[in-house]
Structure formats: structure tokens, C-alpha cells
Copies of this chain bind each other. A is one copy, B any other.
Amino acid sequence: MSQVKEPVTFEGAVCPVPVHLGDTIVLGHGSGGRLMRGLIEGLFLPELDNPVLRAGNDAGRVAVRDDVLLAISTDSHVVWPLFFPGGDIGRLAVCGTVNDVAMLGAEPLYLTASFILEEGLDTGVLHRVVQSMKRAAVEAGVEIIAGDTKVVEKGKADGLYITTAGVGRIYPGVDIGGHRAQPGDLMLLSGPIGDHGIAVLGARGELGFEAKLESDVAPLNHLVRAMLEASPGVHVLRDPTRGGVATALNEIARASGVGIVLEERAIPVRPAVQAACEMLGFDPLFVANEGKLLAAVAPEHAKATLEAMRAQPYGGNAVIIGEVTAEPLGRVLMKTVIGSHRVVDELSGELLPRIC
């Protein structure tokens, strides 16, 4: 067996957990944190390396002609259970990819949907999921224009998995990416965090109490368009899914070579999410969201951007949660409610498997 090549490394990076040939895959390799980054940087990137992948954004930014820039993205969805308060695997599969495309400053246009079905699945379940995909696609204004269906034997999947890919056109003149945060930028967040992760956990019956909480799963492309129409100062957009806000901000800090300082008191968390996190020992900063975005915005444009967000259905509770700094390079700090600072690391290992 050949040797794994030298890992691709990023300046200012917190070390990912390295991967060695002969290691076995664990659930944490899919959780969006340092284990997954070790797999990506140690195994996938050395083989497939190219500037688009290396940029590490939620979608690839590519040209099909000099004057036509596309954002292309994909996500597999293995969430369990298939249905949860506020959503289901179908809505998630559409919104997840729509949002990844939108985070490059693109209008999502077309989706593909590929289904891996487990033998024995009830077609009524599949039908509900497909109806939900349709509703989400209509809401986002995208069309599902190609698909595929595979069936595997009973016990070789878990009901169904859906992989979507999305293609969008980047708005002319827009250049948004994880590397574009600049010291002085303000960090905006579109609403309270952790709803999706805790809602799915509740649907699994793992909370031990009835949390009146719905997943936030939603298409954010109309919110993004409103932000870009209101302001030329949006530098970075990211939806904090697996790994939560903490991991997404660490990715931005690394890619941009900046620090990010958060105000703990500014970060909105619903009481039900806070209560669940306290009971379970989770930090809401690491819990997945599926209908929220983070934006690094030039300070002189922050007010207009925030106002545009608040006028949108999925941005009504948008707030400023911190700012981009020159130091500490590649790290995220939290100014706590008592005035001290603590490091906010990215997710290490496993928090919630199969959350998306």
C-alpha cells in the first residue's frame, strides 16, 4: 500500500487530528471538527488537491466562461430520524445545498438529488420526503433537474440517504469566501444558535424532557441576496452546520489569517437550547444549525447589512456577535460575560452523529 502524501497544511492552522493508513473510520470523522479536518487534509486533499478545493469554502467557485462564475456544492444527508420537529431529511437535503451555494454569494439555480434507498423502505415515507423536497425547492426558487436512485439490501442503509448537489451563478462582481475576512470587519449572526441539533436530539428521545423546539432548517438564499443588495461590504458568508458556530468561525479565522473576538453576551441562544445544552454538557457554540449564517462585514456597511437581514423572514433576529482582529492569527476568542477571554476551539471528535 502506498504512503499517504504529506498533509496539505494551512498557515495559522490549529492542528487537525492526523490520519494514518490502517486507522479505521470513526463517527467523529463525519462531525465537522478536527477529526474530519484531519481526514480531509491528510487523505482527500493530498490526492485531489486543486486551488478550488484548497480554498475550503462550502462550495467551489469555478468559471464555465471568463464572465460566468458558478458556485457548485454537494452534501450527503444521513440524518436520523428522517423526520424531526421543523423538518425532515428532504427539506434538509435541499436547504443544505442551497445554503452552501448561497454562501459564495451566488443565486442557487439547479439541484441534483441522488437517493440511496434501503430495501424494505415504505414508499409512503419516500413520498413524504420527496414532497418536502419539492416544497423546499419552491421556497428557495431552485429546480431539481437530475436525479438517481440506488437500492441496497436491508441492513446496508438506514431507511434512505439523500445526496444533493447544487449549481448557482455568482452575482456579478461579488467575491465572497472564507479567506476574505479583514481586521475591523464585524461578525454578524442571523439568529439564535443550536436549534437544529437540539431539535434532532429531541426527536431521538435523548433529551428526557419535552423541548418545545423546532429545527431552523431553511433556505437562506433570499436572505443572502437581500444582504448583497443592501451592502457591498460582505466579505465572508458561512452557515454554521456540523461543528456549529465555533467550528465555522475557526475555519474563517484560519482561511483569512485573522483572529475573531466574540462577545459572549451577544450570542443568542433560545432558553430551550440553553437548558438542553446545560443538561447534556454541550456548548451551544458547537451545536449544528441549518438555517443560520455568519457574515464578516466591513464596519461601515454593518448597519445597512444588519437592517437588510432583519427585514427578511430568516434574519429577523440578526445581531452583531463580535469582530475580526489582526491577532491572534487563526484563532477565535470569547470575551465572557465576566470580562475575561477564553479560546474557542473548533469541535474535536464527536458531538452528535448523523445530525445532517
Minimum Cβ distance to chain B for residue A217 (Å): 16
Q: Is A270 an interface residue (CB 8 A)?
A: no
B-side contacts of A74, CB under 8 Å: 112-114, 146-148, 163, 165
With A116-B116, A150-B78 in contact, is A52–B143 under 8 Å at CB?
yes
Interface stretch, picked from A37-45, A191-199, A283-291, A295-303, is A37-45
> Which chain B residues border A121 with CB–CB below 8 Å?
24-25
Contact B145 A50 (CB under 8 A): yes
* A117 within 8 Å of B (CB atoms): yes
CA–CA, A78 and B149, complex, Å: 10
Q: Are A109 and B149 in contact (CB under 8 A)?
A: no
Residue of B43, B117, B149 near A127 (CB, 8 A) is B43
For the complex, what is the distance from the CA of A254 to the CA of B23, rounded to whole Å? 50
B residues near A152, Cβ cutoff 8 Å: 30, 78, 158, 161, 353-354
- The chain B residue with its CB closest to the CB of A29 is B151
Beta-carbon contact of A148 and B353 below 8 Å: no
A133 at the interface (CB under 8 A from B): yes
A25 with B113: in contact, given A151-B353, A153-B353, A155-B155 (CB under 8 Å)?
A: no
Q: Is the CB of B19 within 8 A of A123?
A: yes
A83 within 8 A of B: no
Q: A194 CA to B156 CA in the complex, in Å?
A: 26
Instruction: For residue A247, give the distance in angstroms from its CB to the closest CB of chain B.
Output: 14
CA distance A121 to B25 in the complex (A): 5
Interface assignment of A212: CB less than 8 Å from any CB of chain B: no
Report yes or no: A64 in contact with B68, Cβ–Cβ below 8 A.
Answer: yes
A333: interface (CB < 8 Å): no
Q: Residue on B with the closest CB to A124?
A: B21
Task: Decide: A62 and B145 in contact? CB cutoff 8 A.
Answer: yes
- The distance from the CB of A155 to the nearest CB of chain B, in whole angstroms, is 6
Q: Could you tell me which A residues sit within 8 Å of B by CB distance?
A: 1-2, 4, 19-31, 36, 39-40, 43-44, 47-48, 50, 52-53, 59-60, 62, 64-65, 68, 70, 72-78, 109-110, 112-124, 126-128, 130-131, 133-134, 137, 143-153, 155-158, 161, 163, 165, 167, 169, 353-354, 356
